[in-house]
Structure 1
Amino acid sequence: MPFLGQDWRSPGWSWIKTEDGWKRCEPWTEGLEGETHRCGASHGTILNSEDEEIFNNEEHEYASKKRKKDHFRNDKNTQCFYREKWIYVHKESTRERHGYCTLGEAFNRLDFFSAVQDARRFTYVARLLQLIAKSQLTSLSGVAQKNYFNVLDKIVQKVLDDHQNPRLIKDLLQDLSSTLCILIRGVGKSVLVGNINIWVCRLETILNWQQQLQNLQMTEQVDSGLTLSDLPVHMLSNILYRFSDGWDIVTLGQVTPTLSALSEDRRLWKKLCQYHFGEKQFCRHLILSEKGHIEWKLMYFALQKHYPTKEQYGDTLHFCRHCSILFWKDCRLALLLEDSGHPCTATDPDSCFTPVSPQHFIDLFKF
């Protein structure tokens, strides 16, 4: 009979040695473990005081499982994160593994919680949540949907605290609220997992987040050191040429009159258009001024409405074609310890790695 247990390529369970022998470590939260220890201590006190065994082993195990289940149900802030650095993407049943990996399972197991705190991965995670909100929200399981909103909560709170990337999160919340409004109207079609009141509450939370971001005011930092205005003009121009998003150029141009003049440079917008779009697209949406010159700035925003722009991220998930493993690659560990980010068996692991864009991440789980 074929073995249908856990995949032999997975890391396996964690075990600890106790007085009663080896026991498996459960993936609980620290707070839950503390509660279990406290409850275990109270049971021990009862047994010692009355000198009789109230619960046998089976009853005690059942009560413990029920207590953990109630804990997860009652605590709405509980986050069911595994925080794994890599997962095996299996798309069909094999003798070693029964079943297949879904988008919700990948979202639950991969460490997106820590990725939100990483400035290099923040934009990547936000873009992934936006794509899921547009088309894949109903394909997530109940636990995955709960984790989705937990990650989103961390993202919003981070933006409110450090005042960075508010426009990106505003677009994300706008797409999510539009999707939820459509899905809530179709509640009779059973398109949502869970009680409709939960989704109405989530929609109200999203509207509250949008209001907080709308009222967000950037505090002016008082610093006697070097500021952006003190830099030479050629350095300011070089900074503008580093941007790949036209809206970032427009926003930075509102800071000082010098930056405003530099942000209107025709060569800057021409280079930006050439980076994101092709010549055939230029011909279809050519915009000329009264003097016959090409309005590259207007062309950029016109082309942006019709064609997708190239996406740039500081760090992304990677997919190993040799192992079929999706993982976070830590560049610092890769340089110091020659760590590939997952237990790769290839002779040349780096040649098997492929960066995974947010859209590619979703496409991996379309069967």
Structure 2
Amino acid sequence: MPFLGQDWRSPGWSWVKTEDGWKRFEFFSHDLEDNSTELELKELQDENKENLFTGDDCEAAAKKRKKDNFNNNAKSHFFYQEKWIYVQKESTRERHGYCTLGEAFNRLDFSSAIQDIRRFNYVVKLVQLIAKSQLTSLSGAAQKNYFNVLEKIVRKVLDDQQNPRLIKDLLHDLGSTLCILIREVGKSVLVGNINIWICRLETIINWQQQLSNFQIPKQVSNGITLDDLPLHMQNNILYKFSDGWDIVNLGQVTSTLHMLSEDWHLWKKLCQYHFAEKQSCRHLMLSEKEHVDWKLMYFTLQKYYPKKEQYGDTLQFCRHCSILFWKDSGHPCTANDPDNCFMPVSPQHFIDLFRF
């Protein structure tokens, strides 16, 4: 007969004496909730008691969704913050099971990586790729951690006033995926209560509205401005950009930068950086004077082919130890020449590592 009760070998519950009597002491309670969340929970409980029999169906559904959202937003202590993990694809005598994408996303320290300017674009691209195709493959804990990381990304953009366009593209892809999963595919592919996913979709829409109304405040400076720089220095700044939309946006600042941003040499170099010569020959764009319109060709080519990815810092994979790690932290490698075993991991390669 199966044993359904609490394991008799466990140490049992811990109890503390309070003014209202003895209460069970819950570990991690101080880490999981703060004063605001406790007050919100009390308000929800009071509302449920008052409107137990008199509440409308719509109000009851809204309260249920609010409670589910509160439970979903509670922080969890099951997320590790490790600098490296072992990528295991099959069971062996020494190790059983395998490492999944959700486990890797939970254990690697992506929350701290967001604060590093070198890794920010890398994490954003990885989160965007997961939103497009791998969201349903994550476990419930991994999905919860995924949205916690996403919230930190949005808050950082709103606070630092940098990279708003990247986050707009990310939220657009994630919102489109959630709409398809909720309305067309159905509840069977989603882990957790459907009300939680509806609240997440509403949060994404709210973030999109905040970013659409986002404006960088003008800063008055008595020093040297960008327009005061010599012409060749402004031109060199434009040649440092690797994204066409950044060049277009910068060209709207002054008339001089607009003139420099329309230089066909600049767009030709950008096309040669991102795309191969065969790709450019397939989509030749000629102007009215029968010259190659390199600016139009760039925006045409990016619709058909992926652009060359460029990141300040990426995850590294050790072929000898099968370990995924951040470069600055390293890992305990047993190879004679560890440097030759390391290879950079792009966001797409990171996802491919966990496809079995």
Q: What is the TM-score with the length of structure 2 in the denominator? A: 0.81
CA distance in 1, matches of 2:74, 2:95: 32
Aligned to 1:344: 333
Aligned to 2:224: 226
Map 1:1-150 to 2 at 5 A: 42-43=16-17, 64=26, 74=71, 76-79=73-76, 80-150=78-148
Q: Any conservation in 2 of the 1:187–1:196 contact (CA below 8 Å)?
A: no
CA distance in 1, matches of 2:269, 2:209: 36
Structure 2: segments with no counterpart, 5+ residues: 1-12, 35-69
Aligned to 2:269: 271
CA distance in 1, matches of 2:159, 2:131: 24
Aligned to 2:244: 246
Q: 1:317 aligned to 2:315?
A: yes
CA distance in 1, matches of 2:29, 2:278: 63
Q: Any conservation in 1 of the 2:33–2:74 contact (CA below 8 Å)?
A: no
Which range moves more in the overlay, 71-80 or 250-259? Answer: 71-80
Q: Check 1:290–1:78 CA distance in 2 against 1; reply closer, same or farther (3 A cut).
A: same
Map 1:120-199 to 2 at 5 A: 120-186=118-184, 188=186, 190-199=188-197
Q: Out of 324, 343, 348, which is 1:359 matched to?
A: 348
- Length, aligned pairs only: 307
SS across alignment from 1:219: coil
CA distance in 2, matches of 1:323, 1:192: 34
SS across alignment from 1:190: helix
Q: 1:258 aligned to 2:232?
A: no
Cα distance per residue 1:131-190 (max 9 Å; x no partner): 000000000000100000000000001111111000000000000000000000246451
CA distance in 1, matches of 2:229, 2:327: 35
Cα distance per residue 1:40-72 (max 9 Å; x no partner): 6935x89xxx9xxx99xxxx8xx6479799979
Q: Check 1:278–1:83 CA distance in 2 against 1; reply closer, same or farther (3 A cut).
A: same
CA distance in 2, matches of 1:239, 1:346: 43
SS across alignment from 1:319: strand
CA distance in 2, matches of 1:358, 1:189: 28
Amino acid at match of 2:334: T
Structure 1 runs, 4 residues or longer, greater than 3 Å off: 39-43, 63-75, 186-189
Which range moves more in the overlay, 227-236 or 126-135? Answer: 227-236
Report the identity percentage. 75
Cα distance per residue 1:278-306 (max 9 Å; x no partner): 12111211011121210000000001101
CA distance in 2, matches of 1:70, 1:160: 25
SS across alignment from 2:284: coil
CA distance in 2, matches of 1:112, 1:290: 49
Amino acid at match of 1:110: L
1:224 positional shift: 2.0
Cα distance per residue 1:68-120 (max 9 Å; x no partner): 99979947241543110000000001111110000000000000000111111
Q: Any conservation in 2 of the 1:124–1:316 contact (CA below 8 Å)?
A: yes
Q: Check 1:221–1:69 CA distance in 2 against 1; reply closer, same or farther (3 A cut).
A: closer
CA distance in 2, matches of 1:267, 1:69: 56
Aligned to 2:52: none
Structure 1: segments with no counterpart, 5+ residues: 1-38, 331-339
Q: Any conservation in 1 of the 2:31–2:75 contact (CA below 8 Å)?
A: no
1:249 positional shift: 0.7
